[in-house]
A and B are shown apart, each in its own frame.
Chain A
Amino acid sequence: MESYLFPFDGLLCMLLGISFTLWFTLLLIFIIVPAVFGVSFGIRRLYMKSLLKIFEWATLRMERGAREKNQQLYKPYSNGIIAKELVSLEQEIQEVRRSGIPAPEPEFDMSDIFSFCRRGVESIVDDEVTKRFTAEELESWNLLTRSNYNFHHISTRLTVLWGVGVLVRYAILLPLRVTLAFTGVGLLVVLTSLIGLLPNGWVKSSLSEKAHLMCYRICVRALTAIITYHDSENKPKNGGICVANHTSPIDVIILASDGCYAMVGQVHGGLMGVIQRAMLKACPHIWFERSEVKDRHLVAKRLSDHVADKTKLPILIFPEGTCINNTSVMMFKKGSFEIGCTVYPVAIKYDPRFGDAFWNSSKFGMVNYLLHMMSSWGVVCSVWYLPPMRREEGEDAVQFANRVKAAIARKGGLADLLWDGGLKREKVKKVFKEEQQKMYSKVLVGVSEDSRPFPVRRTSHNRQQV
């Protein structure tokens, strides 16, 4: 028995050996070497174009299937499903009253309740905030089960295609990407630790830049991310702060593969901690202990000190403080805008056709999320570097933050909201209800407001109003 297995055994080993070598050589030539030098063969773009054609075909087939059964396809609409009044609540209530002239006595109309009531029910059917914390619904199907609402319209051909897709994603793409990810992260830790041994100076910072860029580029390929950078002449410079809208942890990899930044964050334990400590050896990043995060003065001081030193890299901050689903930009926390240096805004917009990059941290942990990302088709996004902004005379931090936010929202084609991203987990503050009550009291008493009815916070129902 054993005698005739032997030659096959040897043959098998040889075949395995050859295929592994081939695999790694291909990996090296097509992925790692271009990453080191920052060039691209264009394979990913070709991949993207072919995928798009397949998705269109799939959607057309589903529509055809639906039409045959005389039903309509469910089409999600992220712009809102009901018609809302464009006038403010205050204006609506004022319409029934004599406008502008203060009345001798407060005028109450029993019909005032209708406006409050209807707006309340409108927000129950469709509100501006809660839908930002779940993944955006897609209009065309991208062959992932996770994003399909029209299950009953899938024909056999589509099912086969989907099956092939699953095979390709889990058996080919996922192992490849995981290998690349480990390579990228491993190289980062090793190289930055080695560079940390050098004395401070031009050589060290130059090498550190190259090492960081190279490793981030490998990670970009590990996610099959196809990124288009616009307006690179506005790239952040030393002594400034770069702010961007936040959708997922991948944002960091996307920005850091095109430029060098000083990262800001909390010190973690485990693998993250190892990476953080290694990165710190090569160039100055800002890592806070958990206890220090609460102390706003300490945070502000460390940021200002870093920014004042022109040899240090620009700081990368995400002022929303939490991940939002990339259909809107929510309130920017004013901390980074109080420091008084140049702010470089960056807008990041993911193409939702390829897979949703949003990290719903209430539902998935980080590892789960990364696996999810690595087993989808890829990530396609656009990055716009906006011209630098400074705080103007007479503008406070909050106004400056809102100005920057509006610029980012406009460039990225996102809705500009004044609501706090913290509403993902917390209740809304009572003060906003009190503002509504104050507004109504003024209307009752007959005082007319000037052009800005609400003192500070107002929701934008419609992004075109910005």
Chain B
Amino acid sequence: GTYGIAQTVRELSVISHSQITRLYSRFHSLDKGENGALSREDFQRIPELAINPLGDRIINAFFPEGEDQVNFRGFMRTLAHFRPVEDNEKNKDPNSGEPLNSRNNKLLFAFRLYDLDRDDKISRDELLQVLRMMVGVNISDEQLGSIADRTIQEADTNGDMSISFSEFIKVLEKVDVEQKMSIRFLH
């Protein structure tokens, strides 16, 4: 049941029992096929997500490479990236490794939204594709191309015409990632 999973989840980050129950209830209500796992269609049934320009990329983040189903453990693991960072103060064990909701891991989550082929680099082509998702038909190819070129120029320090994860971190060092990529429970 939920208790074994709760143990796993607590290793990943700090979530209270009632919050896990709530998320399980949510998982269950999204699972229309009632087979204990969510498919991409289950996510697309959420109207606010379906109209989000990056909806498909976000949904993709829940599914490990090559898989079509995500179970509750996987669901929680992905959501754990969005825990607020201050909750980590309770987790002082130095051997537990970097928690999923650290600043670095939040940045990695965002990096992977851009990195379509998962080769740890954002190429010009990938950047263009993501930009096209965000603007739809409202900006011409040329304008979009020059936006992509400018972005890569500003970020690229080693001259390989693509953005690596460390370059990505450098560009965003002044941004309050913790606040923008955190979801707080009300209770």
Q: Chain A interface (Cβ within 8 Å of chain B)?
A: 71-72, 74-75, 77, 80-83, 96, 105-106, 108, 110-131, 134, 419, 423, 427-428, 432-438, 440-442, 444-445, 459
Contact = CB atoms under 8 A, between A and B. Distances in A.
A83 B54 contact: no
Interface residues of B, number: 55
A231 B52 CA distance: 43
B49 A81 contact: no
24 contacts: A74-B21, A77-B186, A82-B183, A83-B184, A110-B114, A110-B168, A115-B180, A116-B54, A117-B54, A117-B58, A119-B52, A120-B55, A122-B183, A123-B52, A125-B23, A125-B183, A127-B49, A129-B46, A130-B30, A437-B138, A440-B135, A444-B139, A444-B147, A445-B139
Interface string B128-151: 001100111111000100110011
Interface of B: 17-18, 21-23, 26, 29-30, 43-55, 58, 79, 82, 109-110, 113-114, 130-131, 134-139, 143, 146-147, 150-151, 155, 168, 171-172, 175, 177, 180-187
A130 B29 contact: yes
Nearest to A126: B26
Given A441-B135, A444-B135, A120 B54 contact: yes
Contact of A106 (B147, B155, B185): B147
Given A428-B50, A433-B53, A433-B136, 7 more contacts: A108-B151, A111-B177, A117-B109, A120-B58, A125-B23, A128-B48, A428-B51
B186 A124 contact: no
A87 B52 CA distance: 16
A436 B138 CA distance: 11
Nearest to A435: B51
Given A111-B175, A114-B177, A121 B135 contact: no
A81 B47 contact: no
A134 B25 CA distance: 12
Given A77-B186, A113-B54, A72 B17 contact: yes
B50 A427 contact: yes
Given A121-B58, A121-B79, A129-B46, A111 B172 contact: yes
Given A106-B147, A438-B138, A441-B139, A113 B79 contact: no
CB-CB nearest 9 A-B residue pairs: A437-B136, A441-B138, A123-B48, A120-B58, A114-B180, A432-B51, A428-B47, A433-B51, A441-B135
B55 to A, nearest CB: 6
A92 to B, nearest CB: 8
B22 A81 contact: yes
Contact of B46 (A72, A113, A130): A130
B95 to A, nearest CB: 29
Nearest to B168: A110
A361 to B, nearest CB: 15
B48 A459 contact: yes
A127 B46 contact: yes
A74 B113 contact: no
Contacts of B137: 434, 437
A273 B18 CA distance: 49
A440 B134 contact: yes
A422 to B, nearest CB: 11
B143 A106 contact: yes
B80 to A, nearest CB: 11
B172 A110 contact: yes
B184 A118 contact: no
Contacts of A118: 82, 180-183
B49 A434 contact: no
A446 to B, nearest CB: 12
B135 A114 contact: no
A117 B147 contact: no
Nearest to B172: A111
A151 to B, nearest CB: 12
B185 A81 contact: yes
Nearest to A428: B47
Contacts of A120: 49, 52, 54-55, 58
Contact of A116 (B18, B53, B171, B187): B53
A436 B51 contact: yes
Nearest to B174: A111
Contact of A438 (B45, B46, B136, B177): B136
A131 to B, nearest CB: 8
Nearest to A431: B51
Given A106-B143, A437-B135, A440-B134, A127 B47 contact: yes
A77 B187 CA distance: 9
A134 B29 contact: yes
Nearest to B41: A427
Contact of A111 (B30, B139, B180, B187): B180
Contacts of B52: 116, 119-120, 123, 433, 436
A110 B186 contact: no
Given A106-B143, A108-B131, A114-B181, A433 B50 contact: yes
Contacts of A121: 58, 79, 82, 183
B48 A127 contact: yes
A82 B139 contact: no
A130 B135 contact: no
A125 B168 contact: no
A73 B162 CA distance: 52
A129 B45 CA distance: 10
A124 B63 CA distance: 14
Nearest to B155: A110
Contact of B134 (A77, A81, A105, A116): A116
A108 to B, nearest CB: 5
Contacts of A127: 46-49
A324 to B, nearest CB: 14
Contacts of B82: 118, 121
Contacts of A436: 51-53
Nearest to A112: B134
Nearest to A457: B51
